[in-house]
Amino acid sequence: MAPKRGGLSLARKKELQNLFHSADTDASGLLSFTEMKMVLREGNPSLTDKELALLFREIDTNGDLTVDFKEFARYLNSMSASKLKKSKSREQVTADRCKEEFWKVDENSDGTLSRGEMTLLLRKGNPEITEEELELLFDTMDQDGNGSLDFSEFVDYITGAKAQGEAEPEKEEKFSDTIFWVDTVPLPEVYQQRSSHIAMAHERAIYRPQLDELMKLIKEVLEAVSISEGTRRLTWGSLNMYQASEHFLKPLTQRFDPCSFVELVAAEPQVPEWFVSHWWGTPLVQTFAMLKYHQEQREGEASAWWIDSFARCLHCVQPTRFPAPKDLEDAAFCKVLISTTCVGSVVLLDSSGMAFSRSEGGPKRLKQAAQTSADP
């Protein structure tokens, strides 16, 4: 049967259905923003999050914050992949317009704008401008004072980047302002900006690849830079979680305070499958080795571990204390433990079993909490 005029051919409909189902990772029959942005980024990897949000709003015609197959097919059938690839960001469009205007004004095509050429443009926009105002404007635009405007100076004027009377932009904070070792070991791109805001601390699990990257960085830094506590230099083999938090996790997240380490590296909430109980004083290399062993024993399947030091903001003024029984249900670790997605707990033990002695008060408090909630 031939498709209706203006409709989809059977082959095209099948193609779109396959694409829709592959994007619908939770098999809900609807695409969330997270699922839809994966499809859009395949066509144009350079799309920013803001541009993706605008596209999603355009596709979601009924405004229910999800995309059904009808909306999906309507959009993709009208917007081919090649058209997506050719789409430009607002910054790129502005740059193109500036180039076009620049070459219009540059009458002798020497790549710079003289005072006379720029005067013609300024008088075109404002015929009543005085000679004094022209002089002041040109001198303001001529940042290097060489008597002509190059393209970058022209763009600054057109875009208002350094308009007259506008306050100078605040000095950009350098990584070295908070992370002293970046002058020796470059900061990996993954840590240069915050990836997400995850409101619920119990949804801040960490995955093995994220731990691998962090361990690699810590090892590289400790081998290249001298970090000491008192008279003792910290080493890769001796560094524990207390020291890793102070010298690595806190500096890496300080620019985005309040921010947990997971929010620094995770693009979206990461629901935990395992609650990890361990002693912060255990050498980090041992803690990491035990987590790798846990994953290997489960045939290498991806494990989402909830680890307190990575899940909470370490810049809080008040120290973290075990919550009172009445507040237990609101505690992040408790929400992880009672979650239906949590498979179980992983206890990481050193040779002395320190993790057990450090947490022996926990079960008593949990039992007390259960009794309190059961009392009439």
Distance CA 241, CA 243 (A): 5
Instruction: Give the H/E segment covering residue 268.
Output: none
Q: Which of these ranges, 89-93, 234-238, 308-312, has the smallest mean pLDDT?
A: 89-93
The domain ranges of the chain are 10-86, 91-159, 185-374
Angle ∠(274,277,283) on CA atoms, nearest 5 = 120
Q: How many CA atoms lie within 13 A of 138 on its CB side?
A: 22
Share above pLDDT 70 across residues of the chain, in percent, rounded to a whole number: 74
Distance CA 345, CA 283 (A): 20
Tell me the pLDDT band of 294, cut-offs 50, 70 and 90. Answer: confident
- CATH class for the domain made up of 91-159: mainly alpha
259, exposed or middle or buried, with CB in 10 Å at 0-12, 13-18, 19+? Answer: buried
Residue whose token pair is 């049967």: 1
Tell me the pLDDT band of 230, cut-offs 50, 70 and 90. Answer: confident
Query: Does residue 363 register a pLDDT over 50?
Result: no
Return the closest-CA partner of residue 201 out of 249, 133, 286, 259. 259
Long-range contacts (CB closer than 8 Å, 24 or more residues apart) made by 101-106: 101/158, 102/151, 102/154
Overall average pLDDT of the 204-231 stretch? 91
* Higher local confidence (pLDDT), 122 or 273: 273
Query: Does residue 215 register a pLDDT over 90?
Result: yes
Overall average pLDDT of the 104-131 stretch? 78
Tell me the pLDDT band of 207, cut-offs 50, 70 and 90. Answer: very high
Q: Which residues contact 92 (CB under 8 A, 6 or more apart)?
A: none
Q: What is the mean pLDDT of the chain?
A: 76
Tell me the pLDDT band of 160, cut-offs 50, 70 and 90. Answer: low
Q: Which of these ranges, 13-17, 63-67, 331-335, 355-359, has the smallest mean pLDDT?
A: 355-359
Overall average pLDDT of the 243-272 stretch? 89
Return the closest-CA partner of residue 200 out of 337, 302, 335. 335
* Higher local confidence (pLDDT), 227 or 82: 227
Overall average pLDDT of the 96-121 stretch? 76
Residue whose token pair is 């910290």: 234
Do 302 and 209 meet the contact criterion of CB atoms below 8 Å apart?
Answer: no
Instruction: Give the H/E segment covering residue 296.
Output: helix 284-297
Return the closest-CA partner of residue 235 out of 249, 246, 225, 245. 225
Report residue 274: phi and psi, to 5°: -135, 135
The highest-confidence range among 9-18, 20-29, 238-247, 333-342, by mean pLDDT, is 238-247
How much helix, strand and coil, in percent to the nearest 5, is found in the chain? Answer: 55, 5, 40
Query: Does residue 219 register a pLDDT over 90?
Result: yes
For residue 147, give the DSSP letter: S
Overall average pLDDT of the 121-129 stretch? 75
Overall average pLDDT of the 221-232 stretch? 88
Query: Does residue 239 register a pLDDT over 90?
Result: yes
Beta pairing, strands 344-347 & 274-277: parallel
β partners of residue 270:
204
Q: Which of these ranges, 126-130, 186-190, 269-273, has the smallest mean pLDDT?
A: 126-130
Indicate yes or no: pTM above 0.85: no
Where on the phi/psi map is residue 278: left (φ > 0), alpha (ψ -120 to 50), or beta? beta
Q: Which of these ranges, 159-163, 180-184, 232-236, has the smallest mean pLDDT?
A: 159-163
- pLDDT, tens only, 269-280: 999 999 998 888
Q: Which residues contact 152 (CB under 8 A, 6 or more apart)?
A: none
β partners of residue 206:
305
Query: Does residue 213 register a pLDDT over 90?
Result: yes
Query: Does residue 221 register a pLDDT over 90?
Result: yes
Query: Does residue 168 register a pLDDT over 70?
Result: no
Query: Does residue 4 register a pLDDT over 70?
Result: no
Same fold across 10-86 and 91-159? yes
Intra-chain end-to-end CA distance of the chain, in Å? 69
Query: Does residue 88 register a pLDDT over 60?
Result: no
- CATH class for the domain made up of 10-86: mainly alpha
Torsion of Cα atoms, 9 then 15 then 17 then 23, to 10°: -150
**DSSP secondary structure string, 337-351?**
HT-TT--EEEE---T
Do 37 and 52 meet the contact criterion of CB atoms below 8 Å apart?
Answer: yes
Q: pLDDT at position 364, please? A: 45
Distance CA 219, CA 238 (A): 11
Q: Which residues contact 49 (CB under 8 A, 6 or more apart)?
A: 37
Angle ∠(274,278,282) on CA atoms, nearest 5 = 140
Tokens of 35: 């699922």
Q: pLDDT at position 319, please? A: 44
Query: Does residue 320 register a pLDDT over 90?
Result: no
Tell me the pLDDT band of 228, cut-offs 50, 70 and 90. Answer: confident
Tokens of 37: 């942005």
Q: pLDDT at position 5, please? A: 42
